[in-house]
Amino acid sequence: MKLGVFVYRLYRVLTYGVSPLINLHIRWRRLRGLEPCRRWPERFGHPSAVRPPGSLVWFHAVSLGEGMAAIPVIRHCNERRPDLTILMTTTTVSAFEVIKDQLPVGVLHQFAPLDTPVAIDRFLGHWKPNAIIIMENELWPNLIMAASGLLIPLAMLNARMSTKSFKRWSSPLLLPLVSLLLSKFSLIAPLSTLQGIHFQLLHAPPFVINYSGDLKYVVNKFNASSGTSESIRDLKVELSEMKVWIASSLHRGEEEVILGVHNMLLESHPDSVVIIVPRHPHHGQQIAHKLRKDGQSVALRSQNEKLTSRKTNIYVVDTLGELRELYSVAPIAVIGGSFIPGLTGHNLSEAAAAGCAVITGCHVGHFSHMVKAMQQSNPLSVTQVSTKLELKEAVDLLLSNPEILETQQRASKEVYESLSSCIITNIWNLLNLHIFRGK
């Protein structure tokens, strides 16, 4: 532990010393539109809102996926403990743009402070949280040590660590530091038993590790009551006479795989349409531009373009926050982030919750536990492929056989319902026991 304290002090001195450079970097990112235009001072701990009186719980999520996983817990907390003020922080602008419309009334939002001593001390000094709940894997030393010094309970929900991060934290230099940081947590709820083992190997106290299920399964339960937008209903009408499949959460380069498969499928299914949903809207615009340059007809969602002719069989989505609704348009969902080596997969449960037949590639990283759990429940709930040809054959099989398609749709929906039950209740009980007791 002494070595861990020594390494932390080095980190603190380093982050203090490079703070002016970080300041310049944030200003540069702001000019590029990667930081909030007016609220960027929040990244340095400057508040843009007044702290209400009473107890306050701080939920922190980096990006959209973690933020959406936090919202069901925030809503449950809001219902069960209306006396608590809830503050949520996110790091990315894109996460805020979607999450701001999902947060319950009364929940405050700030952009997360950088992990520099001054920013963290300023943030904690203003907000004075009574508990801090971190989503997934944000092990920021200055934040964790400052909170511990102020006796603020810390929890990590849906805790996970990629193979790369695990190897890095396991190095002789960083293992003492991560052991010190993990010792400060009152609760670590890993998203799988394998992840729980990872945290134990990094010397997290065994008594704080409690498995409760993967919160990403319940994102869709939270959204289940949301209505379908008029534009999605119109899109369904447009596509009603066509064979539709969707390729979602695509990383750069994966569109080549999807478009190659689509072109092969058109030979046997000339009435098929593919909906392409990249992770970032700008990437969608680039895909559409390139396809049009090559002479292909494309409909772009942000421009409200219609599939006006049989020649238009590619629909590119360059908007944020609509994926859940778009899954209701297509009976077949191909989940991206899994077709190029080095990628780590994406959440399958959103498509399963919508009743899609789910297909994914083989590069699924920390989502491998989700693929395994679903396949163990019912092998028909997820189809995993390794090559472009296998993907083509998998989609072709479903487009050609309505009975098989219906069977796989039903399997994915039933498995989702099974795996998502009781997760929020389990999380709430753990938070009550380890974090909120006495608050």
Residue positions annotated with a catalytic role = 66
- 3-state secondary structure (DSSP) of residue 300: strand
Say how far apart CA 160 and CA 216 lie, in whole Å.
Answer: 12
Q: Is the CB of residue 343 less than 8 Å from the CB of residue 257? A: no
Edge-first strand order for the sheet with 108-111 is 108-111, 85-90, 56-61, 131-135, 154-159, 187-190
Q: Is the CB of residue 312 less than 8 Å from the CB of residue 292? A: no
Say how far apart CA 320 and CA 302 lie, in whole Å.
Answer: 10
User: What is the identity of the amino acid at 242?
Assistant: M
Say how far apart CA 273 and CA 330 lie, in whole Å.
Answer: 10
DSSP 384: E
Residue 227: CB partners within 8 Å, gap ≥ 6?
none
Say how far apart CA 303 and CA 298 lie, in whole Å.
Answer: 11
User: Left if phi > 0, otherwise alpha if psi is -120 to 50, otherwise beta: which for 308?
Assistant: alpha
Packing angle between helix 117-127 and helix 2-17, nearest 10 degrees? 100
Residue 98: CB partners within 8 Å, gap ≥ 6?
64, 67, 68, 320, 321
Say how far apart CA 58 and CA 140 lie, in whole Å.
Answer: 15
Return the structure tokens found at 318: 């360059």
Q: Is the CB of residue 315 less than 8 Å from the CB of residue 276? A: yes
Say how far apart CA 120 and CA 89 lie, in whole Å.
Answer: 13
User: What is the identity of the amino acid at 284?
Assistant: G
- 3-state secondary structure (DSSP) of residue 325: helix
Beta bridge pairs of residue 308: none
Residue 378: CB partners within 8 Å, gap ≥ 6?
411, 414, 415
Q: How many CB atoms lie within 10 A of CB 150?
A: 13
